Structure 1
Amino acid sequence: MLQQLKSWRRRRVLRRHAIADPLWDELAAALPVLQGLDAGERERLRELTTLFLHDKEFYGARGFEVTPAMALHVAVQACLLILNLELDLYRDWSTVILYPDTFVAPREETDEAGLVHSSRHELAGESWDGGPVVLSWADAAPGASPHGPGTNVVIHEFAHKLDMRTGSANGLPPLHRGMAVEAWSEIFTAAFEQLLRQVGQGRETLVDPYAAEDPAEFFAVASEYFFEAPAVLRHEFPQVYRQLALYYRQDPALRAEPPEGAA
């Protein structure tokens, strides 16, 4: 009975809140990350995006006006991560907040002596455990890539949300049956330590060095590259790429390859 009610609600939302064709077509053309999706994937993504927009509320900070196109732009990328997963992975929170530009967030850290240190950080995005996703529109807008090719603040913050399904973000999201936690941990730890050494030695890296902050940031940055620059991630960290392909149940590198016979 419960499943029937959920199916009925889903059909009603999709019927009553369908995304207008012109708005959808404009968005699909503006986002390279959606290129290569087949017709079935595009339709599934459209349905997930419709349901996401119905379930979540978007607010503008500092008087910023969030337009339907802005909300759609964020929602479709959030749903790209769960294209072959479940919308329920985004349950237990309800709000997306957009700032016009970067925002300042206070931080408190306790050192080994028990002293509390306060600081303020300028951010382009933030995910709260059980709370909202906060984004700078200047960094999330179409064409924005403030930290170079392969970076995407929307994908980054929603990857954190998936990571948080096991509790606090630690770089280990809830894995599917058949995926080994030991293999994931070994592969991601080795890749993280490799990047940490490269950054520590002052070497130039193909992947955003912010990934070397901690394992949670490594997972989020790796997810950015998985979708935005899959060939780079597959070249630099092939085993990480394979684990993410298993987790997200997608292969963006394959989608990005030209069809056979193409010039």
Structure 2
Amino acid sequence: MAEARGLSAERWRRVVAPMRFITALPDEEQARLRRLSAAFLAAKEFHGLAGLHVTDDMAIAVAAQACLPLLHLGPAHAPEQALRWYASFVGILIAPHEVPVQRRWEDDSGVVHEGWDVVSGEVSDDGPVLLSWLDVQLGMGVAMPGAVDVVSAGNPLAARDDAGLPAMASSEAWSEAGRRPDTPYNVVIHEFCHKIDMASGEADGCPPLPAGFMGHARVAEARAHWLAQLTAAFEQHAEQVAAAERFGQPAPWLDAYGAESLAEFFPVACEAYFTERERFAREWPALLSLFDALFRPVQG
């Protein structure tokens, strides 16, 4: 599959060119990410929904972003070993745009409700990853001329850029998608960080942590430290979201969706951590140290 995708250095540079959070990486890290992405492509299966044809370049674009959180989680001589974090699934489903899904839930009184929701991405414990290609484009960080008409027509595949990728969504598309242009947003990183969280079971905001994590000898102690730090940041974010919605205070930098739960705050924070590290370091220094300990462990 990696050979079929033709993941040469030249093609890699062309496909990732719109993604500044990847092109800014040192050459050595980009080479490592390309190798990891090739192994990812060999292990996963891509399927288009609603008539969408998933091109090789589209698959490479998704692979590059999906593998970014794994960049330092495998040994330097075999970075593909980090793909164990994604071993629970094979399929990646890509729809042209957001997807309506039916929900069923029980409230505190025991009453069962049913309704519809619209999602830009979704994962389950051992099932495939679902992504909206329109939202993938929004997360890639480039506005292409002429994309406004494409988006408003509900067909993000009608125009293509010089790399053969469907045209990038314009800044107007952010408003249509309910997003602010200055809010870190990357649906691929978000959903794949859910998968990392789920590696130890149900998503709860705490991925599996090794013994010795941040100086804690026991896994239980490491987990308690992680949850204490993440919960403090989550509560701060939730307070900012509430103040913005109720009293017109400035909206927080991170996506307001992160205030839904601790399990959603973790991938929302990861979107910013991986795509805008410098500002993340200023806004959330405690989380930077926490995430670095997980995603950039000191190699022995």
TM > 0.5: yes
AA in 2 matched with 1:73: A
Matched, 1:122 2:118: yes
- Work out whether residues 96 and 133 of structure 1, in 8 Å CA contact, stay in contact via their aligned partners in 2: yes
Matched, 1:48 2:82: no
* Alignment match of 2:195 (pick from 151, 156, 161): 161
206 and 17 in structure 1: CA distance in 2 versus 1, 3 angstrom threshold: closer
Question: Where does residue 56 of structure 2 map in the other structure?
Answer: 68
Normalization by structure 1: what TM-score? 0.85
- Work out whether residues 95 and 131 of structure 1, in 8 Å CA contact, stay in contact via their aligned partners in 2: yes
38 and 232 in structure 1: CA distance in 2 versus 1, 3 angstrom threshold: closer
- Work out whether residues 123 and 130 of structure 2, in 8 Å CA contact, stay in contact via their aligned partners in 1: yes
Q: Using the alignment, how far apart are the partners of 2:261 and 2:224 within structure 1?
A: 18
Question: Where does residue 88 of structure 2 map in the other structure?
Answer: 92
- 1:41-61 C-alpha deviation (Å, 9 max, x unpaired): 122111110111011000000
Matched, 1:184 2:226: yes
154 and 15 in structure 1: CA distance in 2 versus 1, 3 angstrom threshold: closer
Q: Using the alignment, how far apart are the partners of 2:17 and 2:51 within structure 1?
A: 29
CA-CA distance at 1:207 after TM superposition: 1.3
SS of equivalent to 1:207: coil
- 1:168-225 C-alpha deviation (Å, 9 max, x unpaired): 1110001133212222111111111111112122232111111101001100000000
Q: Using the alignment, how far apart are the partners of 1:55 and 1:184 within structure 2?
A: 31
Q: Using the alignment, how far apart are the partners of 1:102 and 1:28 within structure 2?
A: 23
**Which segment drifts farther, 149-158 or 231-240?**
231-240
Q: Using the alignment, how far apart are the partners of 1:113 and 1:181 within structure 2?
A: 32
* Alignment match of 2:235 (pick from 176, 193, 204): 193
- Work out whether residues 206 and 232 of structure 1, in 8 Å CA contact, stay in contact via their aligned partners in 2: no
Unaligned runs of 5+ in 1: 1-12, 251-263
CA-CA distance at 1:18 after TM superposition: 5.4
**Which segment drifts farther, 202-211 or 142-151?**
142-151
CA-CA distance at 1:72 after TM superposition: 0.4
SS of equivalent to 1:58: strand
Question: Where does residue 209 of structure 1 map in the other structure?
Answer: 256
15 and 136 in structure 1: CA distance in 2 versus 1, 3 angstrom threshold: closer
Matched, 1:222 2:256: no
SS of equivalent to 1:226: helix
CA RMSD of aligned residues (A): 2.0
Matched, 1:245 2:233: no
Deviating above 4 A after TM superposition, structure 1's stretches of 4 or more consecutive aligned residues are 13-18
CA-CA distance at 1:235 after TM superposition: 2.1
Q: Using the alignment, how far apart are the partners of 2:119 and 2:4 within structure 1?
A: 36
- Work out whether residues 230 and 287 of structure 2, in 8 Å CA contact, stay in contact via their aligned partners in 1: yes
Matched, 1:27 2:69: no
Question: Where does residue 82 of structure 1 map in the other structure?
Answer: 70
Matched, 1:136 2:132: yes
- Work out whether residues 72 and 295 of structure 2, in 8 Å CA contact, stay in contact via their aligned partners in 1: yes
Q: Using the alignment, how far apart are the partners of 2:83 and 2:126 within structure 1?
A: 15
Question: Where does residue 8 of structure 1 map in the other structure?
Answer: none
Identity %: 38
Q: Using the alignment, how far apart are the partners of 1:48 and 1:183 within structure 2?
A: 30
